[in-house]
Structure 1
Amino acid sequence: MSDRVIKTDVILIGAGIMSATLGTLLKELKPEWEIKVFEGLEKAGEESSNEWNNAGTGHSALCELNYTSEKSDGSIDIKKAININEQFHLSRQFWSYLVDRKLIQNPQDFIMPIPHMSMVQGSNNVNFLKKRYEALSKNLLFKGMEFTEDPKKLMEWFPLIMEGRTDNEPIAATKVEYGTDVNFGALTRMLIDHLESKGVEINYKHSVYDVKRTKEGLWQVKVNDLVGCKAKYYESKFVFLGAGGGSLELLQKSGIPEGKHIGGFPVSGLFMVCKNQEVVEKHHAKVYGKAKVGAPPMSVPHLDTRFIDNKKSLLFGPFAGFSPKFLKTGSNMDLISTVKPHNITTLLAAGVKEMALTKYLIQQVLLSKEQRMEELREFIPNAESDDWDIVVAGQRVQVIKDTEAGGKGTLQFGTEVVSAADGSIAALLGASPGASTAVHVMLQVMNKCFPQEMKAWEPKIKEMIPSYGKSLLENPDLYEKVFTSTSETLGLAKKEEVHS
């Protein structure tokens, strides 16, 4: 080992949206703290945060049907939808604070207004969507939601989906005007550039190989400088593992008991992207459908207008795939390397439970382009193969752990924070809604890891995020205030246009 160990206050592993958000929050709260970021790739936001590696939806449950479930009595459970909506508003407020103070520029480069719609076919699904609409539309957070089964109205909302539709199957949709498209890659790069301007050391082409506790209670991080081909050692009181799929192995290397009995199941994604700009211009919305019976939540099909590099694009997907890699740029040994004596029974239990998922993934992997086109034609009847290409999106690692509700080897669909009891190290695991709720998740990290500081930080946090610690649903005036102000600061639709 090198004799020289570099000490710092905070180490962030991974230069994605999570590390960028946490670093920005901490720099506002504790500007004197020294922060170092380590990223194995050449640039920030190149893995899960990259604009081509995620759906780019500002997840606020306006259109995502998997956030509302039908209970046994036929009623619709909207608790998860409310939670995610409130969490996205925390992100909007923080981004607005940064724009207001000119800490980041040009919000139109990372967020754009776009209608969010849900679209279903078949009588049972239409009934579900109508009940969902009735449950949500009277809720303050979903005010302005519209529902229709009228083919003429549907033709106005999404002509590309309605043109050439010859079957008589019932079809219905909901629409919320004030949805968003978020370029998380662009936002990540803005935040990282801001951190660098504040003296944060960003180390690209630096891959973290080990994380271990010292006798003094610090965390020692072994980093391989991929350019200089040499190992470096850093020590810090606090380490955040925000390395996407790479976080699980580092969490295991840390040896903390909270990281045991946790495994990961990698799922890759494919999107179809339209290369005919005439077709692209015919659609202006994010339209989410309903996952097919037996399909996992991450398979919800959606037809998305996207804004990437200031150009309007149209994507459809996702199609799932399987790769043993935990990162798009990872190794085929990633999955095997995270199988440990403490989690092998958890993983085996998941394997038995999730046979349907395994079968689904095999079917998805074996799909030809024309079979994928047939799925696209359920959304766009007139879609032509020559107009569409396939893009490989990012890798997501679904968390597998033992839970009271699900028992041993339960597959988790969501975003999770795992932290040491003393708060000295935390890891971000999981997938959607992920980036959209990054501010909420990083506030969770701070509450777990800096409990002594949080009281002193609270006034500044409330300056950055006015609704911090409060429910927008229970404070209508506050909701209207933050909705209006963030809409104006971020260049989104004004209040009177969407909440009339």
Structure 2
Amino acid sequence: MSNKETKTDVILIGAGIMSATLGTILKELVPEWKIKMFEKLENAGEESSNEWNNAGTGHAALCELNYTSEKTDGSIDISKAIKINEQFQVSMQFWSYLINRNLISNPQDFIMPLPHMSMVQGEENVTFLKKRFEALSENPLFQGMEFSNEPKKLKEWIPLIMEGRTSNEPIAATKIDSGTDVNFGALTRMLFDHLKNQDVEIKYKHQVEDIKRTEDGLWELKIWNKETGNIERHTAKFVFIGGGGGSLHLLQKTGIPESKHIGGFPVSGIFLSCNNPEVVKQHHAKVYGKAKVGAPPMSVPHLDTRYIDNQKSLLFGPFAGFSPKFLKTGSNMDLITSVKPNNVLTMLAAGAKEMSLTKYLIQQVMLSKEQRMEELREFIPNAKSEDWDLVVAGQRVQVIKDTVEGGKGTLQFGTEVISAADGSIAALLGASPGASTAVHVMLEVIKKCFPQHIEEWEWKIKKMIPSYGESLMENPELLREIHTSTAEALGLKEKELAYS
């Protein structure tokens, strides 16, 4: 068994969208740095980034109702929606830069224009949606949004959803044509192909077994080469742990103080996928509904047109599933082995606090296919069971940590970057909006971990992301320029029209 040891500048763990994005940004900023990437599976983008393992929504808060909440005075808080929209604009600018520089090509292989819609039923929900529409419409980031509660207009927008609807319950929707469907799996593979051409050493079937600090301040990774059976040792000045659900275990192995008192709870997603091309043809939008009372934000039901392998698909979900695995290809022992002396109280506190989530998951796991079809019929009244198949999507590990606001064992629903105080190692934990905000999140990693370089890199970052350091909401002229240039570069002509 060989024990080969090699040194490098940067090691990326996991071949997902986050590592691909960070590697690509760093190669633009410092092309001379040596970068290596290790992935335990055979290819890039096989877990959370895979097109069948996520919703494929370009999350810009155009349709996701959980990003806008109603305050006690009845007004709508759109601060989170603004934040997420601006973060998605950062991703769009970076992808456009890569296309314009011919570093990647054929944007239609990973991004397509697609209307984003919110749809609600019931008088109270219709009132909320109208107020949300009015609040967002005043903001330049959401220009082009329409609202309707007229059945005739809704039949034009969502014929499949309106057909056969007999209920007299009020129904309303908002629509904005500047939404996107993003194939994050395809984008991840493109970025890794590009990195390979930039002399980044990419190793598949290489599993990271251990991470420890050396006396000279470097990080040493013990890596099992699954093809040869050999153990290799690689050291680096900086390590990024982007292993999706597998990141928590690896972060715990580092022993850094910042890794303490953090736990994870796995939730899997199940979608209904339409197998009838005639039905697929009748729908062209991502339509997000409202989560049921007591249900967690991850459970917002949505009916999505998707473009996978250049083919139009239709998916509905997600339904929550439960598996103790942290990755689809993980182990049934993942949850148990993630409980350590330093996080056991955090985990127990979360268990006591989140009884409603536990109850919800049990109910979801127990649903039969026909019960899931009944939920789909709230969207498509005429849906037939034979036209739909169940598809198991990816595993998500929700972060559990102690917070000032929520106290001990607070469940986090966003994306979380955990880094060492000296910036030598960072890990990405958590889920949605995840991939859509990958560029923003990786720029945050760079800011946290390489503060000494930010000043010298800033001009290049601004070249890649023209809005870097500025608020698009407060600069409508720059916003218009960016919408036009990204629409052109990414082939999103519908987007261009929506902002004219």
Q: Which residue of 1 aligns with 2:169?
A: 169
Q: Which residue of 1 aligns with 2:452?
A: 452
Letter in 1 for 2:475: N
Q: Which residue of 2 aligns with 1:381?
A: 381
Q: Which residue of 1 aligns with 2:236?
A: 236
Matches within 5 A, 1:327-406: 327-406=327-406
Distance (Å, rounded) in 2 between the aligned partners of 1:473 and 1:217 = 42
When residues 308 and 218 of structure 1 are mapped into structure 2, their CA distance, relative to the original with a 3 A threshold, is same
Matches within 5 A, 1:194-343: 194-343=194-343
Q: Which residue of 2 aligns with 1:438?
A: 438
Distance (Å, rounded) in 2 between the aligned partners of 1:151 and 1:403 = 45
Q: Which residue of 2 aligns with 1:70?
A: 70
Matches within 5 A, 1:9-48: 9-48=9-48
Letter in 2 for 1:343: N
Q: Which residue of 1 aligns with 2:138?
A: 138
Task: Name the SS of the counterpart of 2:318 in structure 1.
Answer: strand
Deviations 1:214-243 (A, max 9, x none): 111100011100110111000001000000
Q: Which residue of 1 aligns with 2:117?
A: 117
Letter in 2 for 1:369: K
Task: Name the SS of the counterpart of 2:327 in structure 1.
Answer: coil
- How far did 1:12 drift? 0.1
Q: Is the 8 A contact 1:118 1:288 kept in 2?
A: yes
Letter in 2 for 1:347: M
Deviates more, 1:1-10 or 1:220-229: 1-10
Distance (Å, rounded) in 2 between the aligned partners of 1:178 and 1:449 = 34
Distance (Å, rounded) in 2 between the aligned partners of 1:3 and 1:195 = 27
* Runs of 4+ more than 2 Å apart: 1-4, 493-496
**Contiguous gaps of at least 5 residues in structure 1:** none
Q: Is the 8 A contact 1:484 1:494 kept in 2?
A: no
- How far did 1:493 drift? 2.4
- How far did 1:496 drift? 5.3
Letter in 2 for 1:363: Q
Task: Count residues with an aligned counterpart.
Answer: 500
Q: Is the 8 A contact 2:39 2:206 kept in 1?
A: yes
When residues 327 and 308 of structure 1 are mapped into structure 2, their CA distance, relative to the original with a 3 A threshold, is same
Task: Name the SS of the counterpart of 2:453 in structure 1.
Answer: helix
- How far did 1:495 drift? 5.8
Letter in 1 for 2:369: K
Q: Is the 8 A contact 2:480 2:499 kept in 1?
A: no
Task: Name the SS of the counterpart of 2:315 in structure 1.
Answer: strand
Compute the TM-score of the two structures, normalised by the length of structure 1. 0.99
Letter in 2 for 1:121: Q
Q: Is the 8 A contact 1:488 1:494 kept in 2?
A: no
Matches within 5 A, 1:86-125: 86-125=86-125
Distance (Å, rounded) in 2 between the aligned partners of 1:111 and 1:475 = 26
Deviations 1:164-211 (A, max 9, x none): 000100000000001000000000000000000110011000010111
Q: Is the 8 A contact 2:4 2:231 kept in 1?
A: no
When residues 3 and 232 of structure 1 are mapped into structure 2, their CA distance, relative to the original with a 3 A threshold, is closer
Distance (Å, rounded) in 1 between the aligned partners of 2:53 and 2:143 = 31
Deviations 1:244-302 (A, max 9, x none): 00000110000000010000000000000000000000000000000000000000000
- How far did 1:499 drift? 2.2
- How far did 1:21 drift? 0.1
- How far did 1:132 drift? 0.3
Letter in 2 for 1:149: N
Q: Is the 8 A contact 1:271 1:317 kept in 2?
A: yes
Deviations 1:121-160 (A, max 9, x none): 0011101101100100110000010000000000000000
- How far did 1:5 drift? 1.6
Task: Name the SS of the counterpart of 2:345 in structure 1.
Answer: helix
Task: Name the SS of the counterpart of 1:452 in structure 2.
Answer: coil
Distance (Å, rounded) in 1 between the aligned partners of 2:496 and 2:327 = 43
Deviations 1:380-424 (A, max 9, x none): 000000000000000000000000000000000000100000000
Q: Is the 8 A contact 2:115 2:285 kept in 1?
A: yes
Distance (Å, rounded) in 1 between the aligned partners of 2:496 and 2:419 = 43
Matches within 5 A, 1:422-433: 422-433=422-433
Distance (Å, rounded) in 2 between the aligned partners of 1:74 and 1:427 = 38
Compute the TM-score of the two structures, normalised by the length of structure 2. 0.99
Q: Which residue of 2 aligns with 1:53?
A: 53
Q: Is the 8 A contact 2:144 2:498 kept in 1?
A: yes
RMSD of aligned Cα (Å): 0.8
Distance (Å, rounded) in 1 between the aligned partners of 2:3 and 2:82 = 52
Task: Name the SS of the counterpart of 1:396 in structure 2.
Answer: strand
- How far did 1:497 drift? 1.5
Letter in 2 for 1:59: H
Letter in 2 for 1:210: D
Distance (Å, rounded) in 2 between the aligned partners of 1:499 and 1:200 = 39
Distance (Å, rounded) in 2 between the aligned partners of 1:386 and 1:151 = 28
Distance (Å, rounded) in 2 between the aligned partners of 1:184 and 1:164 = 35
Letter in 2 for 1:11: I
Q: Percent of counterpart pairs with the same letter?
A: 76
Q: Which residue of 2 aligns with 1:480?
A: 480
Letter in 1 for 2:432: S
Task: Name the SS of the counterpart of 1:451 in structure 2.
Answer: coil
- How far did 1:4 drift? 3.5
Distance (Å, rounded) in 2 between the aligned partners of 1:352 and 1:142 = 39
Task: Name the SS of the counterpart of 2:186 in structure 1.
Answer: helix
Q: Is the 8 A contact 2:2 2:230 kept in 1?
A: no
Q: Is the 8 A contact 1:2 1:233 kept in 2?
A: no
When residues 254 and 496 of structure 1 are mapped into structure 2, their CA distance, relative to the original with a 3 A threshold, is closer
Distance (Å, rounded) in 2 between the aligned partners of 1:21 and 1:358 = 34
Deviations 1:80-118 (A, max 9, x none): 000000000000000000000100010000000000000
Deviations 1:33-53 (A, max 9, x none): 110000000000000000000
Distance (Å, rounded) in 1 between the aligned partners of 2:24 and 2:157 = 39
Letter in 2 for 1:228: T
